[in-house]
């Protein structure tokens, strides 16, 4: 009788754990979608001249992760391209009747990462000698390919392929296709950010594919691509010395990610005209022209002054996932961005005053930010 009771208790606990996990998993997936919507809105409202690259390298779940983690890459979407069927589904592409390949479309900032950098990452994530698929995934839809969007991209990918052939890294012919880009059809929502939404099943898929084992053996210590940003801003500062000059609150905010209290901080109700820069590096971040009162007790902005100086990172808690805002050069924690702001962006950058230094418009020239003075002379 006691054994039966114990068994019943264990089963009940197991059921509760399963229910809680299922609830959390569902909640977590919804929050990831919300965070991705914020990132998309930021990209659409930025003046940065983003460019697009399209690659096919077998299962698009794995290729999405390979590119999405790179600095300078704004968005990676899984989809289908290279075939003849309009708006194909995952099942149709898998039937090998559409001519499409599983692919990823990469939106990137050419000021931070080059197309050639992306090509180097691509070659290190595929087996370019296999014409029948990639690793454990077999079929035409899993073939490797690069789809170029311009003559410049075509020349770069051909030169990159030729350099790979000349390196003699592979003892079989390179068969990766190089073709002009056609319509890219976005895959179903369940295939977007699969590695984030389903980390356990993704890891199982990754281990079972043999991809990592092959790539590690082929590339060894050269597998990781060393990427140097093309544009470097405010590198001439000593971070270690700057950190020593911070107050306890400034340090806790920027280095430990601890938010300051609302309504009890320096700039939440500042109405003076000027710009806000990173307290550590001095890199320009926000303008008073984009500041508004959100009623939260923290400085709020609709958009950054310099999008290239901002990095957005997804940060997860037990039952929440937020889009964290950090400065690029100092890597200071600034705050979070939410999709509940006013027009035209619909965004609210909720920023800690302690992470900022305010430069009044009449001091811009004197403090080395003269290029921004014109902003406040416009009617």
Residue-wise DSSP of 257-269: -PPPPTTSSSSTT
In this structure, are residues 36 and 192 in contact, taking their beta carbons and an 8 Å threshold? yes
Mean pLDDT of 186-191: 94
State the number of CA atoms in the 13 A half-sphere of 40 facing the CB.
8
Using one digit for the tens of pLDDT, what is the confidence trace for 91-144? 999 999 999 999 999 998 887 789 999 999 999 999 999 999 999 999 999 999
Instruction: Reply yes or no on whether the pLDDT at 25 is more than 60.
Output: no
Q: How many helices (H) and strands (E) does the chain have?
A: 10, 17
pLDDT (0 to 100) of residue 69 = 85
pLDDT (0 to 100) of residue 232 = 42
Q: Which two tokens stand for residue 374?
A: 């014109």
Annotation marks residue 330 as catalytic? no
> How far apart, in Å, are the Cα atoms of 309 and each of 111, 327, 335, 375?
12, 6, 14, 18
Using one digit for the tens of pLDDT, what is the confidence trace for 160-184? 999 999 999 999 999 999 999 999 9
The C-alpha atoms of residue 269 and residue 299 are separated, in whole angstroms, by 7
pLDDT (0 to 100) of residue 267 = 98
pLDDT (0 to 100) of residue 302 = 93
> Comparing 1-10, 128-137, 147-156, which segment has the lowest mean pLDDT?
1-10
Give CA angle at 355 (353, 357), nearest 5°: 75
Q: What is the mean pLDDT of the chain?
A: 86
Confidence tier at 28 by pLDDT (50, 70, 90): very low
Confidence tier at 1 by pLDDT (50, 70, 90): very low
pLDDT (0 to 100) of residue 339 = 86
Mean pLDDT of 280-297: 95
Of residues 119, 350, 351, 359, which has the active-site annotation? 350
Of residues 35, 54, 56, 59, which has the active-site annotation? 59
Mean pLDDT of 194-205: 87
Annotation marks residue 14 as catalytic? no
Only one residue has tokens 């590096």, namely 281
Q: Which two tokens stand for residue 162?
A: 């030729």
Alpha helices in the chain (DSSP H): 2-44, 60-68, 90-94, 115-123, 151-166, 194-197, 199-209, 211-219, 239-244, 248-256
Mean pLDDT of 208-233: 80
């Amino acid at each position: 009788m006691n054994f039966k009771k114990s068994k019943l208790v264990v089963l009940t606990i197991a059921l509760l754990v399963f229910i809680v996990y299922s609830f959390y998993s569902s909640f977590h997936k919804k929050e990831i979608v919300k965070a991705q919507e914020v990132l998309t809105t930021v990209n659409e409202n930025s003046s940065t001249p983003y460019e697009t690259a399209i690659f096919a390298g077998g299962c698009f779940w794995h290729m999405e992760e390979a590119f999405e983690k790179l600095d300078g890459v704004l968005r990676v979407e899984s989809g289908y391209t290279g075939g003849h069927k309009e708006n194909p589904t995952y099942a149709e592409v898998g039937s090998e009747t559409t001519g499409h390949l599983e692919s990823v479309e990469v939106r990137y900032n050419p000021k931070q990462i080059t197309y050639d950098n992306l090509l180097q990452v691509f070659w290190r994530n595929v087996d370019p000698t296999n014409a029948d698929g990639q690793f454990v995934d077999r079929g035409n839809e899993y073939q490797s390919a690069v789809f170029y969007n311009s003559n410049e991209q075509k020349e770069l990918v051909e030169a990159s392929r030729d350099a790979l052939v000349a390196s003699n890294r592979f003892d079989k012919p390179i068969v990766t296709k190089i073709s002009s880009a056609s319509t890219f059809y976005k895959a179903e929502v369940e295939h977007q950010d699969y590695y984030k939404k389903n980390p356990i099943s993704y890891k199982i898929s990754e281990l079972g594919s043999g991809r990592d084992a092959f790539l590690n053996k082929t590339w060894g210590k050269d597998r990781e691509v060393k990427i140097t940003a093309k544009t470097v801003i405010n590198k001439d500062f000593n971070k270690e010395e700057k950190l020593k000059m911070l107050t306890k609150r400034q340090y806790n905010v920027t280095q430990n990610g601890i938010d300051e209290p609302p309504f009890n901080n320096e700039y939440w109700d500042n109405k003076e005209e000027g710009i806000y820069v990173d307290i550590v590096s001095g890199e320009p971040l926000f303008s008073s022209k984009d500041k508004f009162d959100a009623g939260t007790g923290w400085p709020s902005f609709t958009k950054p002054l310099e999008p290239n100086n901002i990095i957005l990172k997804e940060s997860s808690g037990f039952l929440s996932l937020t889009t964290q805002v950090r400065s690029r050069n100092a890597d200071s924690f600034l705050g979070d961005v939410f999709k509940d702001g006013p027009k035209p962006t619909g965004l609210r950058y909720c920023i800690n005053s302690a992470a900022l230094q305010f430069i009044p418009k009449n001091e811009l020239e004197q403090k080395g930010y003269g290029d921004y003075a014109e902003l406040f002379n416009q009617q």
